[in-house]
Amino acid sequence: MQLLQTLLATLVALGVLVTIHEWGHFWVARRCGVKVLRFSVGFGKPLWMRTAADGTEYAVAAIPLGGYVRMLDEREGDVPEALRGQAFNNKPVLQRIAIVAAGPVVNLLFAVLAYWFLFMSGVSVVVPVVGGITADSPAARAGVDSGYEILEVDGHSVRSWSEVNLRLASRIGESGSVELLMGEPARGFAHSYQVPIDDWRVDLERQSPLGALGLEPWRPDFPAEIGQLLPEGAAARDGLQVGDRVLSVEGEPVANWMHLVALIQQAPEKTLRLVIDRDGREQAITLTPAARTTEKGTVEGYIGVGVAPVSLPDEMQRTLSYGPLDALGNGFHKTGQMIGLTLDSIGKMIAGVISVKNLSGPITIAKVAGASAASGLESFISFLAYLSISLGVLNLLPIPMLDGGHLLYYVVELVRGRPVSEQVQMFGLRIGMALLFSLMALAIINDIVRLF
């Protein structure tokens, strides 16, 4: 069932974003008088196709990893004399620029509308209250106190952990200090902290910028109650059940879930005596945690359980909701912020500040699509907006094979007054293909490594 949900969410996400991207090219091409031969969602053999009265073919193809708009073009075949004026290559360069740019631009506008819808309907967020400070971290060295809400990061107002992380992510690779304004708004109290950073590097695969700075979000006190069981795990094998509450381990009272986790991790392959509360009755049970090796090379105990969910108190949640005009303004602001972060991340990846291990391919996209769909409409629309921004920005990069590569040639043509030679374009195409296929291969390898 989960696999089916992941597949459906992925197909919907890719289908929506590819369709609006290609529709952008299609709509502007038609307005510029270019004859469109085919509008296809997907590549390969068409699974469905219909021919309109004007001769345009509309198709849905078998490989849902892209799409295309095929226009009449003398470079791709003979064009009857009567139709030469409708060929793409015969249109003024400014019209060709508009047609090529339309796809990525529509992707960015879709993100604005998605965020507008979310801000109109209300976005639920967690108030960014710091619950703990990691020892010997930048935040600890700066004397940051726990228990306070983060109000600003570097002078920018923040209202959720997502906004805090986005602001911190923009500082990766930099030196100096991160300014945090923290306090209790209800009491009118606020204090500024200068958190030092020096060529700040963050392994984004293993931690968030927030964690790298040493800040731990406030969390409710989770009781040591079993909420999930892996069928092949040690807990299920040794008789634990969903709903069991662990009272003690080897005679030591268990305070909460994190205490239980710590006790289990300290006892790989050791038989433990647990006292549990099951349906209001205490009983003893023996449990032998399995052993697994951590990323740091140490061995820890593992029993294959998950914590029972606990609701956040009302004061730790807020809803960001705006009227139509304010929501639109926030939609443009959020989209602009995400565009800036995407470009900044690409630049830092090229400079080596951010590892290329953070590149993601179709497997990761599918997993995130499935998880966001399972989390609800709000999460799925947010995912669509972010993916649409990524698609729009990447397509505008000046790399041959992408829309941005064509735009580069047309801008050069606009400046020089004549087209870029076929030889130069073919050379650029080979470079672009090599670069894109290398990046795709790296992203897929990263996906496979994450799976295992």
Q: Which residue has the higher pLDDT, 375 or 234?
A: 234
Tokens of 22: 């290609």
Mean pLDDT of 413-441: 87
Mean pLDDT of 117-140: 92
| Dihedral angle over CA of 141, 144, 146, 150, nearest 10 | -140
Q: Examine the pLDDT at 369 and tell me if it is beyond 80.
A: no
Lowest mean pLDDT among 133-147, 268-282, 303-317: 303-317
% of the chain exceeding 70 in pLDDT: 98
Q: Examine the pLDDT at 2 and tell me if it is beyond 70.
A: no
In CATH terms, the superfamily for domain 226-307 is: PDZ domain (2.30.42.10)
Distance CA 89, CA 146 (A): 63
Mean pLDDT of 100-104: 96
Q: Examine the pLDDT at 1 and tell me if it is beyond 60.
A: no
Q: Examine the pLDDT at 211 and tell me if it is beyond 70.
A: yes
Give 155's pLDDT tier (boundaries 50, 70, 90): very high
Give 425's pLDDT tier (boundaries 50, 70, 90): confident
For the chain, give every residue range classified as CATH 2.30.42.10. Answer: 124-220+311-320, 226-307
Task: Give this prediction's pTM.
Answer: 0.81
* The predicted structure's pLDDT at residue 365: 75
> Burial code of 166-185, b = ≥16 C-beta within 10 A, e = fewer?
bbbbbbbbeeebbebbbbee
* The predicted structure's pLDDT at residue 452: 64
- Which residues have a catalytic role annotated? 22
Q: Examine the pLDDT at 203 and tell me if it is beyond 90.
A: no
Q: What backbone phi and psi angles, to 5 degrees, belong to 39?
A: -115, 110
Give 324's pLDDT tier (boundaries 50, 70, 90): very high
273-310: per-residue pLDDT in tens?
999 999 999 999 999 999 988 766 788 998 999 888 87
Q: DSSP string covering 328-347, please?
A: HHHHHHHHHHHHHHHHHHHH
Considering the chain, what is the average pLDDT of its residues? 89
Q: Examine the pLDDT at 377 and tell me if it is beyond 90.
A: no
CB 200 within 8 A of CB 246: no
Q: Which residue has the higher pLDDT, 164 or 186?
A: 164
* The predicted structure's pLDDT at residue 295: 62
Residues belonging to the chain: 452
* The predicted structure's pLDDT at residue 105: 97
Q: Which residues contact 253 (CB under 8 A, 6 or more apart)?
A: 247
* The predicted structure's pLDDT at residue 355: 76
Instruction: Return the CATH architecture of domain 124-220+311-320.
Output: Roll (2.30)
Give helix then strand counts, H and E, for the chain. 12, 18
Give 71's pLDDT tier (boundaries 50, 70, 90): very high
